[in-house]
A and B are shown apart, each in its own frame.
Chain A
Amino acid sequence: MDGPVARSHEASEVRRNVRWWNAGWFDVLQFTVFVAALLGLLVSGAVGMGYNWQWYRVPEYLVQIVEGELLWGPLARGLLVTLELTGWSVLITLAIGLAAALLRLSDSWSGRILAKAYLEAVRGTPLLIQIYLFYFVLGPILGLDRFWVGVVALSVFEGAFAGEAIRAGILSVRRGQWEAGASLGLTRFDLYRSVILPQAVPLMLPPLTGIVISLIRNSAIVSVIAVFDLTTEARNIIAETFLSFEIWITVAAIYLTFTVALSVVANRLEQHVRA
């Protein structure tokens, strides 16, 4: 096993030496130049419109130390709400997704129709409209407060995509596995629990991580129903201070930190499961 791998390493070494534009440092240089140009454009644009950068004012909205006491700023509190919202949504999304996938795969005709209709309805309407529907129509009927309207709306939206990811994972387990399990007399529940899902879950992990990342990003939309999440807090700060460049850049960086961290974890997980 060692031979071919080592050889291909040598080969790529050779290639790197020959083609200097493929070298790692050139990649980094390209990236640096690109980012620098982008930042330069931003700064010169801001200067051109006479924007008054006040980065020094940003930290107080994250965290403040008043008389030796640590006080969380509005952005930190908003982040906590966003994470709480996302956390609950992940759980409910997975539950809805699993239910939708199992319904799609069930023998029940009405179950399959129901699951398909759900998928089409969610995919065919804008998330913003769904949020409004939940907030103005279902929220009052079910007696849900804003936070839970946000959680449910996000979960119902992402649950449809999670359902597809779960279904694809289940369908990729070989037919012989179903037959072997059924031949032992396993019930459908035990077949899924002990044979199919343990093999399907590793295959679902990458797409499901994508869905969690998308949940974090899409959670920003709950700001339209005045849930005090990261985005809402940012809007409020900007309304008071006009620090729109600094705050939006900071908020984007915060979202990015979490999504990138999650991507890294997901990659590790995927490699671990494959090994």
Chain B
Amino acid sequence: MERMTRAEPLIELDGVSKWFGAFQVLRGVNLRVAEGERIVICGPSGSGKSTLIRCINRLEEHQEGRVVFAGRELGADTTDLAQVRREIGMVFQEFNLFPHLTVLENCMLGPTRVLGMTPADARGRAMEFLDRVRIPEQAGKHPGQLSGGQQQRAAIARSLCMRPRVMLFDEPTSALDPVMIKEVLDVMNDLAQSGMTMIVVTHEMGFARTVADRVAYMDEGSIIECLPPDRFFANPADDRTKRFLSQILSH
């Protein structure tokens, strides 16, 4: 199963569909993401962006099609789900830090419990990543004592401590004010420079323009188009994309 050729994508979504009751959120979505690639997904709310990336680590279960991560198909019979999830970092809109633990302990939990690292090693790794997201001085505090931007960066550090092969971002800046948005986007920029594979659901078009290899536009459960940013912003093919861009860029 470990057979991985260069041509094989790290993540492959093949005709993925999902319903919430009678409402179809995803309509046969296809997406291939290569190792090291950075994808930004945008689109109106309710278009299925979040659901789509949550299918990649199976926080949401798809009902049709295939979700394949690093050659392993995720389905109802996936027994090593925890094994797959440790390789997929996830950053949430609401940060979801563990409020009863300090920032440092938040970052150490996965490495000690899941990767079996010693507390000393896990601490070293946690401080390394807290340094990278520029909040090493917050390590001993509890999440409630941090600003939103600091919390989100702590959450990014927590995910990075697992040394994941891909990072998923689910509207990471939507709950933040402009100053904090910049702090978080700077960290994400650095991360992109380091070669991390990233899938980012966001409305930050500046970020998409400078960081993304491809920008995907989603509407009503489908990816309408998925293009490199220069072409995506200059001449999108679909009218819905044009309309969305004119709305979002006019602000």
Q: Which residues of A contact B (CB under 8 A)?
A: 174, 176-177, 179-187, 190, 194-195, 198-199
Contacts and interface: CB of A to CB of B under 8 A. Distances in A.
B96 A184 contact: no
A184 B109 CA distance: 9
Interface stretch (B26-34, B79-87, B215-223): B79-87
Given A194-B109, A198-B100, A199-B100, A179 B92 contact: yes
A177 B83 contact: no
A180 B152 CA distance: 13
A186 B59 contact: no
A214 B179 CA distance: 54
B60 to A, nearest CB: 10
B162 interface: yes
Contacts of B113: 184, 186, 190, 194
Contacts of B57: 183
A184 B164 CA distance: 9
B114 A186 contact: yes
B40 interface: no
A190 B92 CA distance: 21
B85 A177 contact: no
A interface majority secondary structure: helix
A183 B159 contact: yes
Given A176-B92, A184-B85, A199-B98, 9 more contacts: A180-B96, A180-B97, A184-B86, A184-B110, A185-B110, A185-B114, A186-B110, A194-B113, A198-B100
A179 B57 CA distance: 10
11 contacts: A177-B98, A180-B97, A182-B85, A183-B89, A184-B114, A185-B83, A185-B85, A185-B114, A186-B82, A190-B114, A198-B100
> Size class of B's contact patch?
20 to 34
B126 interface: no
A185 B162 CA distance: 9
Nearest to A201: B100
A17 B133 CA distance: 57
A190 B86 CA distance: 13
A268 to B, nearest CB: 20
B162 to A, nearest CB: 6
Given A176-B96, A199-B99, A183 B82 contact: no
B88 interface: yes
B183 interface: no
Nearest to B161: A184
A185 B86 contact: yes
Nearest to A184: B110
A180 B85 contact: no
A194 B99 CA distance: 11
Contacts of B83: 185
Name the residue in A176, A182, A184, A195 with the highest tally of chain B Cβ atoms < 10 Å from its Cβ. Answer: A184
B73 interface: no
